Amino acid sequence: MAEKNEFIKSQMVKKFNDEIEKFHLGPLWNALPDLMNKEPEPQAVPYLWKWETLYTKLMKAREIFTPERGGERRAIYLQNPGLKERKPWGWASATQTLYAAVQLILPGETAPSHRHSQNALRFISKGQGSYTIVEGERIFMQEGDFLITPQGLWHGHAHPGDKPIIWMDVLDIPFVYAIGGTFFESYPETIQKPEIPDNYKSRRYPGGMVRPVSDRTPQIAPLSSFRWSRTQAALEGLSNFEPDPYDGYAVEYINPSTGKTANPNIAAWMHKLPAGYHSKAHRHTSSTIFHVFKGSGYSVIGGVRFAWEEGDFFIVPNWAWHEHAASEDTYLFSVSDYPIMEKLGLQHEESYEGYQKIISEFKPLLPDRS
Ligand code: GTQ
Ligand code: FE2
């Protein structure tokens, strides 16, 4: 009898649910366990792209696309396989909040100036001699440099050098899209002309630890590029101390007028992991994109071992256990949505007891040989 009553009740619930759906209404009692899971259940998955694959595809892309108005940039983005079906906000996402790409520009090429509400940053992986022009400042690029283009600033790229250059782009596209804040505008001419001397801002901050007094008032980008030689020197200085248990020797790129992250919404760090370093494992709500600038080693992410070497990119989704081990002296560049989580009061972290047990080995996709 009780069973029969249960059955009738569930039929009534189902009928009710179907009925209100027509009115664009939904029953919370059906949705709650999925809507409010006990802890983050990221849709992004851990993943790794080999440099060889990215490089090969970029070299093909040079035959089929030249930077021009509309398409704007010769960039190939990292599509997290776990987010692929999740349009619109999962589209072109490396993590649930961040977009990442590799961009190639050839000598003589110009990528038109534009501006957008998304924050952008670039890390120069291979090559030198091109410049980005941000609000009239030409910033010339060298390998290992870190450049920012915070939201709303005009920027275009050109390459007066003699060899191709490849850099990494990271933008908060999925996040800005998801919350409905997307704006984009083309510059009236192809590329903005210089309005201030070249590399002006990095020359105003040669020391790193002092700032011009006029820059006490917060500005969005008082310093627009961070030279590799300075970053490396900062890490050398840290080497006399104990490394961070999770991140090795690591420095964060900051805005010298505020002391906060160089770019709003996106944090960028450079890690130095000495040969033999093996970090402790932990997890946090922020998600991270790693780029192996120099060196080799592996990371264990959610029990899966990801071997990496120079040029590779990999993803640590939010709330995934992870630890890193270096086989040789390694520089890892990392980018995360830490500032977003922090501003929203959602940054949480947990440490893991001991090392993770390795359950499998990630097999990266390599380009076809044909
Ligand atoms: O170089 O301005 O990969 O606006 C995606 C969007 C690069 C850029 C990207 C962009 C840019
Ligand atoms: Fe842009």
Residue 114 Cα to ligand 2 middle (Å): 6
**Ordered strands of the 137-140 beta sheet:** 137-140, 131-134, 155-158, 110-116, 184-186
pLDDT one digit per residue (tens) for the chain, 370 residues: 678 888 888 899 999 999 999 999 999 999 998 899 999 999 999 999 999 999 999 999 999 999 999 999 999 999 999 999 878 777 899 999 999 999 999 999 999 999 999 999 999 999 999 999 999 999 999 999 999 999 999 999 999 999 999 999 999 999 999 999 999 999 999 999 999 999 999 999 987 788 999 899 999 999 999 999 999 999 999 999 999 999 999 999 999 999 999 999 999 999 999 999 999 999 999 999 999 999 999 999 999 999 999 999 999 999 999 999 999 999 999 999 999 999 999 999 999 999 999 999 999 999 987 5
10: in domain = no
User: Residue 1: its pLDDT value, please?
Assistant: 62
Q: Is the CB of 75 inside a 6 Å radius of any atom of ligand 1?
A: yes
How many other CB atoms sit within 10 Å of the CB of residue 16? 11
What was the pLDDT predicted at 210? 87
Spell out a b/e string for 258-283, using b for 16 or more CB atoms within 10 Å of the CB, else e.
beebbbbbbbbbbbbbeeebebebeb
Decide: 120 in ligand 1 pocket, CB within 6 A: yes
Tokens for 172? Answer: 């908060």
In-domain check, residue 4:
no
Give the nearest ligand 1 atom to 111 CA. 1
Residue 97 lies in a domain: yes
Can you spell out the DSSP letters for 216-241? GS--S-S--EE-HHHHHHHHHHHTTS
pLDDT value of position 370 = 54
What's the CA-to-centroid distance between 207 and ligand 2, angstroms?
Answer: 29
Say if ligand 1 is within 6 A of residue 171 CB.
Answer: yes
Name the closest ligand to CA 132.
Answer: 1
Q: Please report where in the chains the tokens 């090429």 appear, as a residue.
A: 109
Whichever domain contains 320, its CATH number is 2.60.120.10
Q: Are 142 and 163 in contact (CB under 8 A)?
A: no
Q: Residue 147 and residue 158: Cα distance in Å, rounded? A: 15
Q: Is the CB of residue 326 less than 8 Å from the CB of residue 275? A: yes
Q: Cα–Cα distance between 166 and 169 in angstroms, integer?
A: 10
Note the pLDDT of residue 89. Answer: 75
Residue 242, CA distances (Å) to 238, 279, 367 in order: 8, 12, 40
Q: Could you tell me if 119 and 182 are in contact, meaning their C-beta atoms sit under 8 angstroms apart? A: no
Specify whether the CB–CB gap between 297 and 291 falls below 8 A. Answer: no
Our count of domains for the chain comes to 1
Range of the domain at 333: 47-203+224-361
Residue 141 covered by a domain? yes
Q: Is the CB of 130 under 6 A from ligand 1?
A: no
Q: Separation of 8 CA from ligand 2 center, angstroms?
A: 58
Those residues with Cβ within 8 angstroms of residue 324's Cβ, 6 or more apart along the chain or in another chain: 248, 271, 273, 277, 278, 279, 297, 298, 299, 332
Residue 28 lies in a domain: no
Atom 8 in ligand 1: residue holding the nearest Cα: 73
Q: Does residue 103 line the site of ligand 1, with CB under 6 A?
A: yes
pLDDT at 206: 83
Distance 116 CA to ligand 2 centre (A): 7
Q: In 3-state terms, what secondary structure has residue 71? A: coil
Nearest-atom index, ligand 1, CA of 132: 1
Q: Does any domain span residue 123?
A: yes
213 found inside a domain:
no
pTM for this predicted structure: 0.96
Domain assignment present for 211:
no
